[in-house]
Amino acid sequence: MNQKLYPFILLLSLLLASCSTNYHKFASQYTYTSPDGHPDYSKPDNWAAHPYKQDPSDSVPLPLREGYQPDSSVDVFFIHPTSYTEKERSLGWNGPIDNANLNAKTDYSTILYQASIFNEAGRVFAPRYRQANLTSYYPRNAADSAHALAAFELAYQDVKAAFMYYLEHHNNGRPIMIAAHSQGTTHGKRLLKEFFEGTALQNRLVVAYLVGMPLEPDYFSLIKPCFTPDQTGCFCGWRTYKEGFRSDYVQKEKFVSVVTNPLTWDAGIPIADRSLNKGSVLLNFNKVPDNTVGASVNDGVLWAGKPRFFGNLFYTSKNYHIGDMNFYYVNIRENAKRRVVAYQKK
């Protein structure tokens, strides 16, 4: 593995481990097993978030509870990022669907801290899937590369199966929002291209938030980037770095990634001061500090000044991937609702 990536992986692991008081204490909730290792999406256990059960995606930070009015006329299909990190690779290249610790880790990190962003915009569905291990993004040799490709393919097939089950049994013609981060976006791009682009389903797309991964400007032919805050049927995305920093792998990209500013949502206003940040959700879910970080679109990435929060002295990483969505929690939450309203007025 590239030694330069260790600080980022360490920070990601720390965030996932500390997003709850101690996710291991929740493991007893996940005592089911999968007889053949495959997820059966007719079973609520195989959904990290589902409107027919209570789960962490239903949570609302304390300062945002007043006036909370969820919209059940729209569905949000959320694809979670990698919670299956390097230290767990002994379980295989793909994370098991019925591992109690892994499911608790997923639910009390990304489902609580990211999927909950969308619980007022619509009903949240988030499938468990046999996610590729984090090391799949950084193969060391040809053998690793082959294993990694197979791992991503298996993970996508699970996501696809979940989406197909959702369409057949739960959608009932509702408008759909796709939301994803990191590995979730790796699969979300494929899902959008396979199921929405050029099909009848494209007319039911409210918006897709494809965050934390590069978005090639020519990846889609018919689905366009979002250029305004009220636009629908389009996609948004960004990757956040410290102002002035551009990673080696970004510099090697042969295209300029699509980037949306999550504070302005307007392609004509690429720079936003931190004063426009309405609230972040960091380690304490029930505190929503504002003015945490700004946002500036710069040559395929989103730049932000050093975040303002207690303890930021120890936050020295220049890669803000772990905060892609949490830094802009309230702004994303409000934009999702705004686009739903715009869609319903069409």
Mean pLDDT of 215-234: 97
How many angstroms separate the CA atoms of 47 and 304, rounded? Answer: 34
The dihedrals phi and psi of 174, each to the nearest 5 degrees, come to -70, 150
Q: At what angle do helices 142-166 and 183-195 cross, to 10 degrees?
A: 60
Judged against a pLDDT cut of 80, whether residue 343 lies above it is answered with: yes
Task: Report the number of secondary-structure helices (H) and strands (E) in the chain.
Answer: 7, 10
pLDDT tens-digit series, residues 272-283: 999 999 999 998
Reduced to 3 DSSP states, what percent helix, strand and coil does the chain have, rounded to the nearest 5?
40, 15, 45
Residues 77-105 have a mean pLDDT of: 90
Q: What 8-state DSSP symbol labels residue 234? A: E
Task: Report, as an integer, the average pLDDT of 193-221.
Answer: 97
According to the 3-state scheme, what is the secondary structure of 292-316?
CCCEEEECCEEEECCCCCCCHHHCC
Does the structure show a pLDDT above 80 at 88?
A: no
Of 143 and 233, the structure prediction assigns the larger pLDDT to 233
Average pLDDT over residues 14-37: 72
pLDDT higher than threshold 80 for residue 121:
yes
**pLDDT(312) > 70:** no
Q: How far apart are CA 161 and CA 179, in angstroms?
A: 17
Would you say how long the chain is, in residues? 346
> In the chain, how many domains are there?
1
Query: Does pTM surpass 0.75?
Result: yes
- Lowest mean pLDDT segment, chosen from 28-32, 85-89, 216-220: 85-89
- Cβ atoms of 136 and 85 within 8 Å: the answer is no
**How do 240-242 and 271-272 pair as beta strands?**
unpaired
Lowest mean pLDDT among 11-25, 29-43, 61-75, 201-215: 11-25
* pLDDT band at residue 85 under the 50/70/90 scheme: confident
CA distance 204 to 188: 16
CA distance 93 to 90: 8
Query: In Å, how far from its chain's centre is CA 196?
Result: 19
Confidence of residue 133 (pLDDT cuts 50, 70, 90): very high
Residue 266 belongs to domain spanning: 3-345
In this structure, which amino acid lies at residue 170? Answer: H
Q: Which of 337, 118, 102 is nearest to 211 (CA)?
A: 118
Give the C-alpha separation, 118 to 216, whole Å. Answer: 25
> Radius of gyration (Cα) for the chain, nearest Å?
19
Q: Residue 81's pLDDT is what?
A: 97
pLDDT of res. 246: 85
The residue type at 155: A
- Whether residue 45 is predicted with pLDDT greater than 70 in this model: the reply is yes
Lowest mean pLDDT among 25-34, 131-140, 215-224, 310-319: 310-319
Interatomic CA distance for residues 184 and 214, integer angstroms: 12
Q: How far apart are CA 163 and CA 179, in angstroms?
A: 13
Is the pLDDT reported for residue 2 higher than 60?
no
Output the pLDDT for position 126.
98
At 318 the pLDDT is 87
Determine the residue type at 139: P
- Dihedral of alpha carbons 85, 88, 93, 97, sign: negative
Can you tell me whether residue 123 is helix, strand or coil? strand
Contacts of 298 (CB under 8 A, 6+ apart): none
Please answer whether residues 336 and 203 qualify as being in contact, where contact means their C-beta atoms are separated by less than 8 angstroms: no
